[in-house]
Amino acid sequence: MRFRHHLFICENRRPEGAPKGSCAARGGEAVRAAFKNELLKRGLNEEIRANSAGCLDLCEQGPVVVVYPEGAWYVGVRPEDVAEIVEQHLVGGRPVERLLARTFGPLQK
C-alpha cells in the first residue's frame, strides 16, 4: 500500500534524568494516539500512515513529528495540535509554521 503522507512520531524513551529528555516523557505516545484517532475519525487512515519512531535527535524539543514526503519537522507537538496539523498540512497542504523546527530539517528557513 502506498500512502499519500507518512508520519513518524517519536516515542523514544531515555532513562529518567537524561540531559536531553525524551519524546516519550514529553507525551509522544499521546501525540501518536491522537494522530491515529484523528485520521480514523476523518477516514484518512487508509491514505495517511502514523508510525511510532525511535529517536529523531531533537529530544529537547519534543515530541517530534516528521511528515513525508515533504520532510516537515514539527517540534513540541501536543495532542491538541494534531487536528490543526491534519487539517492545515495533511488535508490543506500548508505546514503549521508555529510548530516547524527552525534548527533542523529540509524545510528550515
Is 104 inside any structural domain?
no
Tally of domains in the chain = 1
SS (H, E, C) the chain: CCCCEEEEEECCCCCCCCCCCCCCCCCHHHHHHHHHHHHHHCCCCCCEEEEEECCCCCHHHCCCEEEECCCEEECCCCHHHHHHHHHHHHHCCCCCHHHECCCCCCCCC
- pLDDT (tens digit, 9 = 90+) per residue, 49-87? 999 999 888 888 889 999 999 999 999 999 999 999 999
pLDDT of residue 107: 46
Is 24 inside any structural domain?
yes
Band the pLDDT of 109: cuts 50, 70, 90.
very low
Full residue range of the structural domain in which residue 25 is found: 5-99
pLDDT of residue 57: 86
Is 106 inside any structural domain?
no
- pTM exceeds 0.85, yes or no: yes
Region 10-18 average pLDDT: 87
Q: Answer with the residue of higher pLDDT: 105 or 52.
A: 52
- Give the CATH number for residue 92: 3.40.30.10
